[in-house]
Amino acid sequence: MKILAYCVRPDEVESFGKFSGQYGHEVELIPQSFGPEVAHLAKGYDAISILGNCKATREALDKINDYGIKYMASRSAGVNNIDIEAADEFGIGVSNVPAYSPNSVSELTVGITICLTRKIPTALKRVDTQNFALNGLIGVELRNMTIGVIGTGRIGLEVIKGFSGFGAKLIGYDVVENEAAKQYIEYKSLDELYKEADIITLHVPVTDDNYHMINKDSMAKMKDGVFIVNSARGGLIDTEDLMEALKSGKVAGAALDTYEHEVGVFHNNKMNEILKDDTLAKLRSFPNVVLTPHCGFYTDEAVSNMVETALISLKEFEMQGSSRCQVGGNSSSKSKCLA
């Protein structure tokens, strides 16, 4: 299969070289992010591969459909950047990578939580200016916290295991309970979790049903001084509502590896530029916010898994017209495709 891979980072090149031949693909790598403006570059190819910050809109999909492209493999887990309805309408098979190394995100989650609760970023900034004072740096100990995990699937389970070593009380919520998680957590209703947790960490995909699930109404149900951690998807949090809660002290701090309007900003160098997003500019000014550029997935193992799984999916599409990692259409066992 002849494939055009969009938005290829330098760290992916080695994996593309390794796995392209293994799965019998001819792959061209380009740095441009997929979208309507660059969809024409796919002319003459059989399939494309994209990342989560690409814009697979109806307009873009319509264009590649005109070129006869029927398969698109995302190298990311989230598909909220893809118009799945349009892809189904055009008969374009879409796959994602729901099962890359879960430890990559779980380890970052634990790390940014500790950074938040122990005020490590503030301490590091002070030392840079030779300010070695302790005032304002007092933290809390995780063993004294109740940690609420929303989403207890592959990543959520690893987060739970990570936090279990600190001796914290662990509670969780999911629409489908994970039997393996029950040895570590007590399942609660969502409202019970909001009420009881000192730290709330999110590990669910964003959907129409849970978009902005963290908002002024849900935060009103939480403890005063709660910490909120999000290494899942930015759309789970209403950022404006979060900032108001941070100002009032309702939320003591937030650790965010993702932001609802991150596309076009995160994973790009914006030094010496004026941020056009006033909300993000304000969010960066909060001393009790730890903000990282959606790098939870970014480990050597996870990057390799993502590239290989995308190429496996395209091979399956080529050979049988469907993929184990297919989303939309007649997708079935979406969770069985870890490379």
Rounded (to 5) percent helix, strand, coil in the chain: 40, 15, 45
CB 7 within 8 Å of CB 31? yes
Instruction: Report which secondary-structure segment, H or E, holds 3.
Output: strand 2-5
Q: Same domain for 165 and 59?
A: no
**Contacts of 183-187 spanning 24+ positions with Cβ under 8 A:** 184/160, 185/149, 185/152, 185/160
Q: Same domain for 149 and 26?
A: no
Q: Same domain for 305 and 246?
A: no
Q: Same domain for 34 and 113?
A: no
Q: Same domain for 74 and 108?
A: no
Q: Same domain for 225 and 119?
A: yes
pTM of the model: 0.88
* pLDDT one-digit tens code per residue, 209-229: 999 999 999 999 999 999 999
* Percent of the chain's residues with pLDDT above 90: 91
329 class by beta-carbon count within 10 Å (0-12 exposed, 13-18 middle, 19+ buried): middle
Choice among 294, 316, 318, 324 that is catalytic: 294
Active site residue 262: yes
The residue type found at 298 is Y
Q: Same domain for 115 and 69?
A: no
Question: What pLDDT shows up at residue 334?
Answer: 40
Domain for residue 129, yes or no?
yes
- For helices 10-22 and 300-320, give the axis angle rounded to 10 degrees: 40
Question: What pLDDT shows up at residue 98?
Answer: 82
pLDDT, the chain, mean: 94
Overall average pLDDT of the 91-100 stretch: 91
Active site residue 233: yes
The CATH number assigned to the domain holding 191 equals 3.40.50.720
Q: Same domain for 93 and 196?
A: no
* pLDDT one-digit tens code per residue, 143-193: 999 999 999 999 999 999 999 999 999 999 999 999 999 999 999 999 999
Distance CA 114, CA 197 (A): 16
* pLDDT one-digit tens code per residue, 309-336: 999 999 999 999 999 999 987 544 343 4
Range of the domain at 318: 2-100+299-327
Residue 99 has pLDDT above 90, yes or no: no
The count of structural domains within the chain is 2
Choice among 25, 75, 233, 324 that is catalytic: 233
* pLDDT one-digit tens code per residue, 231-281: 999 999 999 999 999 999 999 999 999 999 998 899 889 999 999 999 999
Q: How far is CA 120 from CA 51, 83, 140, 253, in A?
A: 31, 40, 12, 13
Domain for residue 120, yes or no?
yes
Overall average pLDDT of the 41-62 stretch: 96
Distance CA 280, CA 274 (A): 11
Domain for residue 335, yes or no?
no
Q: Same domain for 134 and 152?
A: yes
Q: Same domain for 69 and 119?
A: no
Instruction: Report which secondary-structure segment, H or E, holds 50.
Output: strand 47-50
Q: Same domain for 164 and 96?
A: no
Domain for residue 184, yes or no?
yes
Domain for residue 235, yes or no?
yes
Q: Same domain for 169 and 309?
A: no
Which residue is associated with the tokens 């900034």? 125
Choice among 262, 308, 316, 318 that is catalytic: 262
Phi-psi region for residue 322, left (φ > 0), alpha (ψ -120 to 50) or beta?
beta
Question: What pLDDT shows up at residue 337?
Answer: 47
Question: What pLDDT shows up at residue 335?
Answer: 37
Question: What pLDDT shows up at residue 110?
Answer: 98
